[in-house]
Structure 1
Amino acid sequence: MKKVTVIGATGFVGSKVVNELAERGYQVTAIARNSENVVKNEHVTAVSADAANPEKLAEVIRGSNAVISTFNAGWTNPNMYADFLAGSRNIEKAVELSGVKRFIVVGGAGSLFAGNTQLVDSSEFPAEIKPGAQAARDYLNEIRKNNTLDWTFFSPAIEMHQGTAGVRKGIYRTGLENPVFDENGRSVLSVEDVAVALADELEQNKHIRQRFTAAY
């Protein structure tokens, strides 16, 4: 597998995924609303496309070996919930139309379980990102019904933003429905190592039609 399409290629996660794949020698089709901001690399082809048009998006995807979607409707978007679900559904439809089978989706940590409760339903969950986390949780429930694609849904560690920027250790531990905690009781992974985990999943196919998470 050498040709991968990354959707959301200029975002916080997507840009790191593009870089990780390019460093591994993949030919990357990097899709973003504004392709001028895509990382410049001989292995990367930047394409402007919109998730609102699945038919055109499918044309761009067609011929790839896999698709990684890091689509995010924007954490400050007042219509975050509806836009995330609509965009995610359109991307899933586009992948199906393209004929590509392997599809990796980046969602949120909010759908992970602490006991019998999903994090997004806890009273401590940050209110400002709750609509996006609820949308990602609801989309996970939807994609679990997809028997056409070889999909994987990735939930990052609870802490992806704090104190780990620029760190690429290349090591992590994985889990399925529950957060992975370190010896200090924290669930932490840098965004660079999120990209490593996603690229490794692309190569190893350990979680076909499953959700997984990763942390140090």
Structure 2
Amino acid sequence: MKKIVLIGVTGFIGSELVNELLNRGFEVTAIARSVEKVKVKNEHLKVVSVDIFDKEKLAEVLKGNDAVISAYNPGWTNPEIYEDTIKGYRSIIAAVKLAGIKRLQVVGGAGSLLVAPGKTVVDTGVIPEEILLGVKSLALVLKEQFLPEKDLDWVFFSPAGVIEPGERTEKYRLGLDDLIIDEQGNSKISVQDYAKAMVDELETPQHHQQRMTIGY
């Protein structure tokens, strides 16, 4: 599995994912709203601009690749982030199917992770108001679009509660639906370790049609 499409290459996580993929020798087709924002230059990287909401055109770009990683985010300052996230993932899932690709790995959110039986991070009220709609929409995408999805071999990879620039320590824990916290009660991961774990999962799939998460 060496030909990969990365959706959302210019974002905080997407920009780290493209470095991880290229460093491991993948052929990457990167999809971005604004191709001029992609600063990485590499002979194994092709950058394409395509309307995410146009599933037929998106499928044409995806065809011939082995897998898709989506770090799609319509923009935290987008007033339509809730609707666009739901609409965007509906289109991405449809396009992946049209392209005949089975493996889809998604940069998920931490908001839907469990902190206690039946209680999610969103339920705790700790999510800042300015990003709450985006967090809630990703949680709904997991519940209504991915969990019922039986045709694709999908993975929804939720980061820790806090994901930030740091080191590629390679020392972290993986889990499924429960927020991973350290001895001090903090839930953190570096974007470098998150990207490493995402590509590890791509190279050697351990999760199928399920959510996974990460933390120190």
Equivalent runs, 1:1-216 vs 2, <5 Å:
1-38=1-38, 39-115=40-116, 116-141=118-143, 142-161=145-164, 165-216=165-216
Specify the SS of the correspondent of 1:58. Answer: helix
Inter-partner Cα distance in structure 1 for 2:123 and 2:21: 34
Distance 2:186 2:166 in 1: 19
Q: Calculate the TM-score normalised by the size of structure 2.
A: 0.95
Query: How many pairs are equivalent?
Result: 213
Distance across 2 between alignment mates of 1:172 and 1:203: 18
Q: Any idea what SS the aligned residue of 1:189 has?
A: strand
User: Shift of residue 183 of structure 1?
Assistant: 2.1
Residue identity (%)? 50
Structure 1 stretches lacking a partner, 5+ long: none
Structure 1 residue 35: Cα displacement: 1.7
Deviation (angstroms), 1:31: 0.7
Q: Distance in 2 between matches of 1:145 and 1:45?
A: 33
Question: Which whole-Å CA distance do the structure 2 matches of 1:171 and 1:65 have between them?
Answer: 28
Paired residues of 1:36 and 1:46 also in contact (CA < 8 A): no
Structure 1 length-normalised TM: 0.95
Task: Name the aligned partner's letter for residue 160 of structure 1.
Answer: I
Residue 204 of structure 1: how far off its partner (Å): 1.5
Distance 1:23 1:17 in 2: 10
**Runs (5+) with no aligned partner, structure 2:** none
Instruction: Name the aligned partner's letter for residue 125 of structure 2.
Output: S
Counterpart amino acid of 2:149? N
